[in-house]
Amino acid sequence: MVRLLWYQLAAVAVITAGCTRGPTPRANRAPLAHLNVPSAGSLSAVSPPPITSNPRDTTPGAELYLPDWARRALLKHGFYRSYDIFQRLNPFYLSGHFDADTLIDVVVQVQEKASGKRGVVFVNSADSSVHLVAAGTPNGPDNLANVWFWEVAPRSTLPGQPVSAAEVVHLGRWPWDWSAVWWNGATYVWYDRPID
């Protein structure tokens, strides 16, 4: 037992020594002149970038992380003319069986460019149809600005509702306080759970 403890301590010492080696030799590193680092005397003059109050976080190119078929469907429908992908909720898109077929669909967090109102857009893979919920539309609430939690859940979480798909999407401020969006066979429906 003592011998095993001794071997473990020796192994930790070897690993620690390997992790605390000094910096690599100067010849293997880029010269500082090429990094545009300010001199030590001017560091106090360097200020961080200003913080803006703009809540929009739509890094260009976010659509490249979507499945190719979903990106093409959104482009085909001219979606990006009026909406941006909202990335401050991670993940910004979910995959699941959201309509009545057996193919994987996606739902994406979005924000209307003109008003800043948030919502979600479902893209059905079978027909490349696009279905917007919220974000200033009459389908669902006007704005999902308070949604900071979402997940894919089985349709059994909505007993008594005529859900046509295998899965639904829960959305809310907290994991224990959610509403749902589900496919009724023709469109996506917003559902607020009754307060217990």
pLDDT of residue 97: 96
- pTM for the structure as a whole: 0.69
CA 35 to chain centre: 32
Neighbours of 39 (CB within 10 A): 7
Segment 128-149 mean pLDDT: 94
DSSP secondary structure code for residue 115 in this structure: T
- Candidates 157, 159, 176; CA nearest to 167 is 157
The residues near 8 (Cβ < 8 Å, ≥ 6 apart) are: none
- What is residue 10's predicted lDDT score, i.e. its pLDDT? 60
The predicted structure's pLDDT at residue 169: 97
The answer to whether residue 57 scores a pLDDT higher than 70 is no
Q: Are 82 and 110 in contact (CB under 8 A)?
A: no
- The more confident residue out of 178 and 28 is 178
